[in-house]
A and B are shown apart, each in its own frame.
Chain A
Amino acid sequence: MNQDIYVVVEHLRGQAADISYVMLAAARVLAQGTGGNVVAVLLGHDAQELADDLAADQVLYVDDPALAEFTSDAYEKALAGLVEENAPRAVLFGDTSIGADVAGGLSAQLELPLVSYCQSVRADDGALKFVSQICGGKIMTEGDLPDTTTLVTMIPGGFKPEEGQSAQRPEVTPVTAPALEDLRVTLKQYIEPEVGDVDISTEPILIAVGRGVQSEDDVEFAEELAEALGGAVCSSRPLVDQGWLPTARMVGKSGKRVKPKLYLAMGISGAPEHVEGIADSELIVAVNTDPDAPIFDLAQYGADIDLYDLIPALAEQIRQAKGS
């Protein structure tokens, strides 16, 4: 095993994902502890320019037509040999629709340990520490990276993407892909996101509703408040899965990232998948009957009060304030 930290760069349709830079920042912290290099692994086809702003000591670039778009099977095949032969100290993946699809398979295939939901890392007296966020953000788990090549899937929040960007172009080393044949997963097509009536990613005032809302009719309740305040209603995943709100109104990992002046979260617990989409909000106010809800760790103001009691009172006072 060598002491390098590998980062599997995530990109989709020609654009590197923020998590790639977050991982590079984390890798730098680990590499400073091990004395190794930060090595970015870029898989793609005619995608070398994606290496330009990666804050890495070296980029291993694997070019193959079968890697033009992400598929789990091709990625896993391309990575397996590379990880096994080079045996880096750790390999970082995003805990995402890309990274999480391949890290587990590689862990099982290469018999390497896997740490997931990792939010931050640090080097501590020779030991490499991970901190993972589990139980919907309610519990943090800390431990040492096992003493062998370890695979890690990372969630955002511990490092800023800017820390993983560099103005200096890194050294790029082309690597020949193994034969990517007999692939069992193929991309047929992309389906573009639904265009909604409201673009929540640019709305300055958002009233967000979550599981605390008990029926479809109650979404109207939130609409009333949004109308009083002059904002739009958005939601966390469960309400969209219920069909109560269109996908275009979903905030979080699979939905939109928002950056309003006010994010008023009603009945939202603050699961990491949701929080990921709201971190850039200027002011977060949370209302939830569970005083331990993780959303209160992120919000500047909170109230553990029933949203059904609060909404009518709040809408009324807002109308009065606007009228005066």
Chain B
Amino acid sequence: MNIVVPVKLVPDLVEELEIDESGAALDTTWMRLMVNEFDDHAVEQAILLKERGGGQVTILAPDAEDVDDVLFTAAAKGADRLIKITGPFEEQVNNHALARSLAAVVEELQPDLVLTGVQAHNDLDGPVGPLLAEYLGMPYVGYVSGVTASDGNVVAQKEYPGGLLAEMEVALPAVLGIQAAEEPPRYVAFSRVRQAMKSADISEQAVAELDLSGSPTVGRMFQPEAGERATMIEGDEDEVATRLVEIFKDAGVL
């Protein structure tokens, strides 16, 4: 099976986020990016499918700082082909524009299956998956945490609230939004990534222009107001524990 996995980089939420001078965008000066965690699950699911049934896995990513590392890491995990999409991506590109750019490249690859993360934390105009599916004329199923391939279709395990699952049969070619791979994304040692850097190639495909239509305009960004915040308990672990015991007693749970 020919599987394509588009991935994107997003701000690392472990770092402090700053809003820029315009007040309507994140300050990218010191922003550290990381691969969208759900995309990481999509990569893993693609490699699991390849290990089970053979085929080829192609990873696509729009250009960004450190994107080469992300692509080489995927190669070290077992991806066969790496494509970097270059273009004016340094601006705040929205998912409609990204999905249109991806669609042009994905179409030429003629995949049986496209796997992508079900969402990213900065998808203000919807996740990439359903948009991409529509631009490609393929069906879409999201919130997927398991995929079984058979002839001409796949059975996707779709998650609903409360732990309920639905088995959806999806005709190929199709796009699936991955919530979780069947196994946790594998760890690869840096030595293997370095090896991939020597042996794997990243091919580039240029996108000349981005069509940004389809996304709202942001008027203002802000951090959730302080004041609604928790009463913070200061002190070392013993002092915090003492206060917590009092709080638990007051709440009637101790």
| Chain A residue contacts of B220, Cβ below 8 A | 141-143
* Residue ID in chain B nearest A304 by CB atoms: B232
Q: A144 and B219: CB pair below 8 A? A: yes
Which of A72, A194, A261, A316 contacts B139 (CB under 8 A)? A72
Question: Which of A43-51, A99-107, A169-177 faces chain B?
Answer: A99-107
* Residue ID in chain B nearest A108 by CB atoms: B134
Which of A134, A229, A301 contacts B253 (CB under 8 A)? A229
B216 to chain A, nearest CB (A): 5
Question: Which of A20-28, A29-37, A58-66, A243-251 faces chain B?
Answer: A243-251
Chain A 176-234 interface residues, beta-carbon cutoff 8 Å to B: 184-194, 204-205, 229, 231
Q: Tell whether B30 is near chain A: CB-to-CB under 8 Å.
A: no
A185-B169, A193-B164, A321-B245 are known contacts. Are A100 and B126 too (CB-CB below 8 A)?
A: yes
Tally inter-chain residue pairs, CB-CB below 8 A. Answer: 286
A204-B253, A296-B229 are known contacts. Are A115 and B244 too (CB-CB below 8 A)?
A: no
Question: Which of B8-16, B53-61, B69-77, B78-86 faces chain A?
Answer: B8-16
Q: Tell whether A300 is near chain B: CB-to-CB under 8 Å.
A: yes
Q: B213 and A111: CB pair below 8 A? A: yes
B141-170 interface bits toward A, Cβ cutoff 8 Å, 1 = contact, 0 = none: 111000000000001011111111111111
Q: B140 and A254: CB pair below 8 A? A: no
Q: A113 and B215: CB pair below 8 A? A: yes
Please count how many residues in chain B sit with their CB below 8 Å of the partner chain's CB atoms.
85
Q: Tell whether A236 is near chain B: CB-to-CB under 8 Å.
A: no
Q: A290 and B14: CB pair below 8 A? A: yes
Chain A residues touching B, range:
35 or more
| Chain B residue contacts of A72, Cβ below 8 A | 130, 139-142
| Chain B residue contacts of A129, Cβ below 8 A | 219
Bound-state CA distance A192–B248 (Å) is: 36
Question: Which of A1-9, A81-89, A159-167, A280-288 faces chain B?
Answer: A280-288
Bound-state CA distance A97–B163 (Å) is: 12
| Chain B residue contacts of A134, Cβ below 8 A | 121-124
A105-B140, A139-B26 are known contacts. Are A317 and B166 too (CB-CB below 8 A)?
A: no
Q: A103 and B248: CB pair below 8 A? A: no
Q: Tell whether B135 is near chain A: CB-to-CB under 8 Å.
A: yes
A95-124 interface bits toward B, Cβ cutoff 8 Å, 1 = contact, 0 = none: 011001111110111011111110000000
* Residue ID in chain A nearest B183 by CB atoms: A243
Q: Tell whether A235 is near chain B: CB-to-CB under 8 Å.
A: no
Binding site for B on A (CB under 8 A): 12, 17, 69-73, 96-97, 100-105, 107-109, 111-117, 129-130, 132, 134-146, 150, 153, 184-194, 204-205, 229, 231, 237, 241-243, 247-248, 250, 253-257, 261-262, 269, 271, 282-286, 290-292, 294, 296-306, 309-310, 312-314, 316-318, 321-322
Q: A150-B216, A190-B166 are in contact. List 17 more A-B contacts (CB 8 A).
A: A12-B161, A70-B166, A72-B130, A113-B215, A138-B17, A139-B17, A141-B124, A188-B168, A189-B166, A255-B162, A284-B230, A294-B224, A300-B230, A302-B229, A302-B232, A302-B233, A314-B241
